[in-house]
Structure 1
C-alpha cells in the first residue's frame, strides 16, 4: 500500500515537472489543452495521495476506530506510514482547502464585475462597448459570454486592427478559454506545486487566440502590430478567468506572430500523458489498498 501511495505521488511530481517543457514544443491550442489536463490530473492525484495519508493517520485514532468499528492497531500495523508524513498530509489538505476558499472568493468578486456586461443596453450580439477612456478589451466568461471593449481601446486601434482584436476575443469565447483558466487555477489552489501552470496556460491561451486572429485576418504582421499597439495603450493586470487582449508576454507573442505558423503536432505530449496515466493507475491502486486495509481491520474477531 505504502509503495503505491509513494509511486502515485512521485508520478504526479514527475508529471508537473515534464508537462510544461513539453507544452512549449506544441502549437498553442494543444499546449493549452496539455497544460490544463496535466495540472488538473497532477493536482487530482496529489489530493488523493495526501488524502489517503491523512485518512491513515486519523484511522489510527481510537475514538475514530471505535466509530468506524475497525482495529486502530491493525490499521497502524498494516503498512506503517511515518507520523510526520501523515501530519504533513493534513497540512497539505488545510492549504488546499484555504486555496479553494480564496479562489471561490475571487470568482464571486469577478462575477459581480462581469454581471453588468450581460445587462448592458449597448450590447450588439456578444459585443459590449463601454464608455471608458481607459483602453481595455476582454472576453467575459459564460454561454455565450460577452466581448467587452472600451471606447478608449477602439480609439487606440486603427479599423483593421480592431478586426484583429475582435477575432482574438471571439476565439476566447468560442473555445471557452475561461474554463481552461478556471481549471488550472483550481488545480493550483488544491496543489501549490501546480501554480506555475497558471501563467503557462494563460500564455498558451493568448497565443491560441493570437493564431486564431492571424488566421481570421490572413495577416500575421497585422496581428502582431495590433497586439503591440494595444499593449502600449495599456498593460492590463492579470485576471482570474477573464481573458484580456493585453495580458502578459507581449514580446513573446509578437515574436511568435512574426515567425511562421507553429507546426501541428502531438508527439511532445506523449511523455506527459503516459506519466499521467501511470499516476492515475497508482492512485487508484493506492485507494484500493487503503480500502482493503480498513476492511481487513474491520474483520470480525479483531479487537480494537
Structure 2
C-alpha cells in the first residue's frame, strides 16, 4: 500500500499537461467535458490517497489499534516513514478542507449578494443594471439571469446585443458554472490541477461562442459582438461575482479568430501527437484510479491480517 498510494499524488503532474494538449485538438464541448472529468478524477484519486495515508498512520497508534481490535501491528510499511507520511497527509487534508470550505462560502456569498442586487425576478431572463461600467455576465441560480449594465448596452448595436445575450444564455442553459466550480474545487485538492482551470474556462467560453453564433446565424456578428464587448470592458473593473461567466473574459483574440475561421468551429487537429497524448492521459487516469483502489484493498487486507481474520 505504501508504494501504490503515491501514484495518485504524482500522476497529475503528467496527466494535466496531456489533458490541456488534447483539449486544444477538440471542439469546445467535448474539450470542456474531457478537462472537467479529468480534473475531477485526478482530484478524487489524490484526495483518496491522502486519506489512505492518514488511516495507515492512525492504525499505528495504540488507541486506534484498540478501537479496530488489532491484535498485532498492521503491515503498512516502515512505521516511522508511515507515521511521517500520515502526519503530512493529515496536514494537507486539513489545509485543503479549510481552503475549500472558505472558497465555497465566498462564492455562495458573492452569488447571494449579486442576486439580492437583482431584486425580485421579472419576466424573462434579462436584468439590466444602471451602471456606466460596461459589463455583462451569466448569473447562475434559480432562475438563472443574464445581467447587463447600461454601459454595455450603450457600447453595442442592437444586433450585437442579441449575440451577447445568446452567449450568456448558452452559459446558463449549459450549466457552465458547474464545470467551473468543479475545476476550482478540484484545483484546491492538488496544485497541478490549477493549470487546467484556464483551459476549462476557455473551452466553456468557446462553447458559448459557438452557441451564440448558431443562435444569431452569423459567425461574424458573434465575433464582432464579443470583440466589442471585450474592448468596452477592458478599462472597467468587473463588478461580477467570481462564479459568473462573461463573454468579455478569457483570451478574446483567440476566440474571435476561431469564430472567424472556417466551419462551425476550429478544425480539430488530429494526428500522431494527439493519439499519443490521448494514450498517456488514459493511462494516467486508469493508473491513478487503479492505484488508489489497490492501495485501499491492500490496507483493508492489512487490517484483516492484524485482526487475525486471515492467515495471509
CA contact (8 A) 1:182 1:240 kept: no
Which residue of structure 2 aligns with residue 291 of structure 1?
300
Of 73, 78, 81 in structure 2, the residue corresponding to residue 80 of structure 1 is: 78
229-238 or 194-203, larger mean C-alpha shift: 229-238
Which residue of structure 2 aligns with residue 108 of structure 1?
108
Normalising by structure 2, we get a TM-score of 0.87
SS for the counterpart of 2:131 is: coil
Which residue of structure 1 aligns with residue 20 of structure 2?
20
C-alpha deviations, 1:12-38, integer Å up to 9, x for none? 443223111111111111111111111
Matches within 5 A, 1:36-51: 36-51=36-51
Q: CA deviation at 1:198?
A: 1.7
Change (3 A) 1:301 1:8: closer
106-115 or 160-169, larger mean C-alpha shift: 106-115
Q: CA deviation at 1:251?
A: 1.7
Normalising by structure 1, we get a TM-score of 0.89
Which residue of structure 1 aligns with residue 2 of structure 2?
2
C-alpha deviations, 1:36-77, integer Å up to 9, x for none? 111111000000111111211121112221222224x522x4
Alignment RMSD, CA only? 2.5
Matches within 5 A, 1:134-149: 134-149=133-148
Change (3 A) 1:88 1:17: farther
Matches within 5 A, 1:193-272: 193-235=192-234, 237=238, 239-260=241-262, 261-263=265-267, 270-271=278-279, 272=281
Change (3 A) 1:301 1:231: closer
Alpha-carbon distance in 1 for matches of 2:123, 2:310: 73
CA contact (8 A) 2:25 2:268 kept: no
SS for the counterpart of 1:299 is: coil
C-alpha deviations, 1:118-170, integer Å up to 9, x for none? 6336x331111222221111111124411111121111100110111011011
Structure 1: tracts of 5 or more residues without a match:
none
Aligned residues: 299
Structure 2: tracts of 5 or more residues without a match:
none
CA contact (8 A) 1:181 1:240 kept: no
Matches within 5 A, 1:128-167: 128-167=127-166
